[in-house]
Structure 1
Amino acid sequence: MTHTSNNPSAIRSQKWLIEALLSLLEEKPYHKISIKEIAEKANLDRSTFYRHFDSKQALLEQYLDSLAQEYLRRLEAGENMDMGKVSKIFVAFWIEHIDFIRLTRKNDLDSLLLKAFNKHLPSIHRLTKDKFSYSMNEAYMEIALAFNAGGMWNILMKWVDSDFKHSYDDLIKAFEEISRFNFFR
């Protein structure tokens, strides 16, 4: 659980704690990182950590949620959306966060990342439903969103597992091919 606050000092402390965790992840496995180490790396007391977070997972989840919010803002800014445009936003977003995605996969934390993004699927739908030239039956929307999110997620993980051997253009072409395969007869 995260203890939210609008206090600038609290926001700054949370940011430093997140940066400390991300830095430590580059040095050692997640399961070997202690809260004490995170607080020390952030030049804060453990009590400051616990004032904002109940656990290091809560700290990580706040960061994951911030990534999801950033992705949502990018989708919201898009116009005349289709799956090609969604895939371009998705791939470009993760290319910017490639080091983090590599660390999450290496530490078996990618399921937390997927969970954070799945939590925002209703918001993604709400933000984008009027931007597509076609509309889907609302009764099936939740299932369709899960299908698309799972497919996009698995492509991203396949890309990570291949040590990023495919280019941005390769990934976009794959998304386009999949869209044609799934939606055109």
Structure 2
Amino acid sequence: MEPYFATLKKQTDFYIAKAFYECLEQNIPLNITTLCAQAGIGRRTFYRHFSSVDEVFQCCIASLFSEYRHTIRPLKNYNIEQIAKEFFGFWETKKRELRLLGRYDEAKLSALLFEDGVSLIKERSDDRFHLFSVYSAGGFLGLLNWWIAEDFHMPVQELIVQFVQETENIFSKDIS
């Protein structure tokens, strides 16, 4: 059983993150005062958990990647279609959060998605394909950033099918 204070910390972090998303959704100016009011906590409680609003933003992204990490299976082989379905299928369920995080800071969202995503994909990859995994992580994350910037206009299934077809076309041709 988790110690009481660890459980309390998780609950407080959850309410602060929830308040962060609510402020973004309602276009409430984000600062520590409004965040504390929205979360129903005092400033001292906030500072026990975070040092800034930016840190809450980073925590929200880390939380998304933690959730993603728990949904993926170990790769037995490199199957681009399986990876694309898992990757984009997960992020499709997080469109609301991604839109709101982009509203806070689109450039930081892009940078943190890339940073966290590459480290996650390197963890998941087989040592035999380390460089290719990093290379493909850049492609997947770049495509995710494009999809976010396009406000998810392309349906996820269409995105996956088109991506897989284009990838297979590129890798099946002799590029000289």
TM class by smaller structure: 0.7 to 0.9
Alignment match, 2:18: 19
Match of 1:34 among 31, 51, 73: 31
Match of 2:156 among 144, 163, 168: 168
1:75 equivalent in alignment to 2:68: no
RMSD: 2.6
Aligned pairs, number: 170
SS class of match (1:166): coil
Alignment match, 2:83: 86
Unpaired runs of at least 5, structure 1: none
Asked if the contact 1:64/1:113 (under 8 Å) is kept, the reply is no
Question: Which amino acid is 1:94 matched to?
Answer: W
Kindly, what percent of the aligned residue pairs are identical?
Answer: 24
Q: TM-score, normalised by structure 1?
A: 0.78
Alignment match, 1:43: 40
171-180 or 117-126, which moves further after superposition?
117-126
Asked if the contact 1:76/1:128 (under 8 Å) is kept, the reply is no
Equivalence map 1:1-185=2 (5 Å): 7-28=6-27, 32-76=29-73, 80-129=77-126, 135-136=128-129, 138=130, 141=131, 144-185=132-173
User: Structure 1 pair 119/6, CA: closer, same or farther in 2 (3 Å)?
Assistant: farther
Q: Cα distance, 1:153 vs. partner?
A: 2.6
Asked if the contact 2:18/2:39 (under 8 Å) is kept, the reply is yes
User: Structure 1 pair 149/124, CA: closer, same or farther in 2 (3 Å)?
Assistant: closer
SS class of match (1:76): coil
Question: Which amino acid is 1:17 matched to?
Answer: I
Q: Cα distance, 1:124 vs. partner?
A: 2.5
SS class of match (1:54): coil
Q: Cα distance, 1:120 vs. partner?
A: 5.0
Asked if the contact 1:18/1:59 (under 8 Å) is kept, the reply is yes
Q: Cα distance, 1:177 vs. partner?
A: 2.4
Q: Deviations over 1:133-175 (max 9, x none)?
A: xx42x4xx1xx44432332233223333333331122111122
Asked if the contact 1:91/1:168 (under 8 Å) is kept, the reply is yes
Asked if the contact 1:68/1:117 (under 8 Å) is kept, the reply is no
Unpaired runs of at least 5, structure 2: none
Query: Partners in 2 of 1:154 and 1:122 — Cα distance?
Result: 15
Q: Cα distance, 1:10 vs. partner?
A: 1.4
Query: Partners in 2 of 1:154 and 1:120 — Cα distance?
Result: 10
